[in-house]
Structures are given as C-alpha cells and as structure tokens.
C-alpha cells in the first residue's frame, strides 16, 4: 500500500509547489481594481462567501489546475521549427500582463475582431506552423486562462472607437434584441432584473471579467463564447458558433459594459 500512496503524495506536493509558484508570481506588485466601478459589478459580488473564498484561495480554486496545464503548453515546443510561445514571448509573467484586459481587439490582418482564443491560434499558425486548438478544448481553455491570469487585478479596458466601432454597435444590437422562443434579450435579464432570483440562480450583470470561469454546477471551465451559447440556448434560441463574428461583436460590447472591472481569471461561479 505504501508504495502506491507515496508517489501520489509526492506528486500532490509537486503540484502544490507549482501552484504556489504561479500564485506567488501573480500576486506581486499589481494593484487590484475594485469589484464595483460606478455601478458596474463583477459576478464575484453575486456569489456566496463560500464561493468567493474558493476563488480567492489559490490552493482551493478549481480553475487553478488548468492554469498549470496552460503554463506547460506555453513552454511546450510544437510544429516543424520546434518553437513554443515562450520562444518569442519569453516569460508570460513578464510579457502578458494587461493583454487579456484589452481583448477583443480589431485586427487589421483579419479585418475584424479577434479575441484571446483566436489570437492564440493565429500565433500558432503564423509563428509555430502548429494546428489550431479547438474552441473549448482543454488546451485552448488552459492557454487562455494562463494568459488571462497574468492580467489579474487589472481593469478591463477595451477599445471601441475607430475600426472597432461598427463591431461595437453590432454587439450592442445583439445584446438588445429579444430572441428565441422565450423572446428575451440579454439586457432584460442582465440589466433590468439584476439581483432577482431566476429559479435557483441570482441574475448578475453578466460581466466577462472573470473568464475563463470555473462553473461549479458543471464542474468545468468555460469560455466567454460558451456562456453566450448557454444563455442563447436557455431562451430557446439557436446559438452561434463559438468564435463566430456575432459572438466576437457581442464579446466586445459586453466587455465594454464591464470596463474598469478587474480581470479575475480563473473566477469561480455557481
């Protein structure tokens, strides 16, 4: 019995040490934006104290496990030239802070918006000749979470002017359109009925600053576009594809709604 349990214990110890290293490096020297800015509230404030402390505690936060995987992927060489993200960007803790707070952005090459997930895949294609990671795969969620985490505490700050402006307007229209058999718009829940109980859930402002989040009721990590698809399906509307232009425009608008809120990835939600 001992021979079996001891390696497991050692593995666990190593795992914890790795988590501690990640946790320590991020907490240092960053100012934390408040969870509420001019009436805009993070989903964090709608969670119970128990769920909040699960998020706050690096060792208990169930999203931290994927962060470890994300760091491995960051450093793992792929493609014919044997390059990794780190080959170009070095230490993510030095090069990535602030990035997640700015996305999605207008990308002249794509002549449209790109979000973090799509930027990761574009970088892989251009500089590593590596195949794209599937949307919502463990690997893409892991890298997105790892990169987002480098911006923890920084205020969401997306550009909505210039070439981004028409996409912003498109996202706003999406947000305000009643849709599906239940005939409800995003805003009818996340603006007009905030704090009310919808069955067993308390409706939050539907902010994006915590993403990717760990959803306790699903025991899973999910991306921003995955929650859009869930909210669409909940009103019996046909969802769009993850990564679609419709969801990118919506992502820009919803991110702007939460301007100033701190990046929290990986946040823990009900």
Partner 1 sequence: MLELAKTILAAAVLALSAAACGAADLAAYRVENGGVAAPLTDEPGNPARGRQIVRDMGHVTCLICHRMPIPEEPDHGEIGPSLEGVGSRLSVAQLRLRLIDSKQVNPDSVMPSYYRTGGFTRIGAQFEGRPIYSAQQIEDVVAYLALLKDK
Decide: 63 and 221 in contact? Cβ < 8 Å: yes
- Cβ atoms within 10 Å of 72's Cβ, excluding its own: 15
The answer to whether 60 and 54 are in contact (CB under 8 A) is yes
Q: Which of 85, 186, 189, 231 is catalytic?
A: 231
Whichever of 101 and 227 has its CB closer to partner 1, that residue is 227
Q: Name the residue whose CB lies closest to ligand HEC.
A: 43
* Cα dihedral value 6, 9, 13, 18, nearest 10: 100
Which partner, partner 1, ligand HEC, none, binds residue 196 by CB below 5 to 8 Å per kind? partner 1
**244 part of the interface to partner 1, by CB under 8 A:** no
Handedness of CA 83, 88, 90, 94 (dihedral sign): negative
Instruction: Write phi, then psi, for 168 (nearest 5 degrees).
Output: -60, -45
Give dist(CA 42, CA 185) in Å, integer: 20
Considering the complex, state which of residue 113 and residue 250 has its C-beta at the smaller distance from ligand HEC: 250
Q: Where are the alpha helices (DSSP H) in 76-135?
A: 85-89, 92-95, 99-102, 116-123
CB of 201 to partner 1, least distance (A): 8
- If one asks whether residue 235 binds ligand HEC (CB under 6 A), the answer comes out as yes
If the CB atoms of residues 72 and 246 are measured against ligand HEC, the closer one turns out to be 246
From candidates 20, 59, 196, 230, binder to partner 1 by CB under 8 A = 196
Build a one-symbol-per-residue string for 148-187: x at contacts with ligand HEC by CB under 6 A, - elsewhere: ------------------------------------x-x-
- Looking at the DSSP bridge assignments, the partners of residue 262 are 155
Restricting to residues 185-214, which ones interact with ligand HEC according to CB under 6 A?
A: 186, 188-190, 198, 201, 203-204, 206-208, 210, 213
Q: In the set 56, 176, 183, 241, which binds partner 1 (CB under 8 A)?
A: 183
How many angstroms separate the CA atoms of 176 and 189, rounded? 11
Nearest CA-CA partner of 58 in 25, 33, 9, 107: 25
Q: Two tokens at 89?
A: 């960007």
Let me know: does 136 contact 269? Beta carbons within 8 Å.
Answer: no
Instruction: Convert residues 33-62 into a mask of x (bound to ligand HEC by CB under 6 A) and - (unbound).
Output: ----------x-------------------
Task: Considering only the stretches 34-42, 73-81, 96-104, 230-238, report the one whose residues sit in contact with partner 1 under the rule CB under 8 A.
Answer: 230-238
Interatomic CA distance for residues 97 and 69, integer angstroms: 18
| 88 catalytic per annotation | no
Cβ-based nearer residue to ligand HEC, 15 or 180: 180
| CA quadruple 129, 134, 137, 143: dihedral sign | positive
The CB-of-168 to ligand HEC minimum distance in angstroms stands at 14
Residues of this chain that interact with ligand HEC (CB under 6 A) are 43, 184, 186, 188-190, 198, 201, 203-204, 206-208, 210, 213, 227-228, 231-232, 234-235, 250, 254, 269
Residues of this chain that interact with partner 1 (CB under 8 A) are 177-184, 188, 193, 196-200, 233, 236-238
């Amino acid at each position: 019995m001992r021979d079996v349990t001891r390696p497991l214990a050692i593995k666990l110890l190593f795992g914890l040490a790795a988590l501690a290293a990640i946790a320590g490096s991020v907490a240092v020297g960053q100012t934390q934006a408040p969870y509420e800015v001019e009436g805009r509230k993070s989903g964090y404030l709608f969670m119970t104290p128990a769920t909040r402390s699960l998020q706050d505690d690096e060792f208990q936060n169930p999203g931290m496990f994927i962060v470890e995987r994300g760091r491995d992927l960051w450093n793992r060489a792929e493609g014919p030239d044997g390059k990794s993200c780190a080959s170009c960007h070095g230490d993510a803790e030095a090069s990535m802070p602030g990035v997640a707070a700015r996305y999605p952005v207008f990308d002249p090459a794509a002549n449209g918006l790109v979000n973090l997930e799509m930027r990761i895949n574009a970088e892989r294609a251009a500089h590593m000749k590596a195949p794209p990671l599937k949307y919502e795969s463990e690997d893409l969620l892991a890298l997105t979470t790892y990169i987002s985490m480098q911006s923890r505490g920084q205020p969401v700050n997306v550009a909505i002017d210039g070439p981004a402006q028409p996409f912003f307007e498109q996202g706003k229209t999406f947000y305000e359109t009643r849709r599906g058999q239940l005939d409800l718009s995003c805003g009818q829940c996340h603006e007009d009925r905030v704090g009310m109980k919808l069955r067993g859930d308390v409706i939050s402002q539907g902010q994006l600053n915590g993403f990717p989040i760990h959803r306790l009721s699903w025991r899973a990590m999910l991306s921003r576009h995955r929650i859009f698809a869930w909210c669409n399906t909940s009103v019996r509307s046909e969802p769009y594809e993850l990564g679609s232009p419709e969801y990118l425009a919506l992502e820009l608008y919803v991110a702007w709604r939460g301007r100033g809120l701190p990046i929290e990835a990986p946040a823990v939600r009900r």
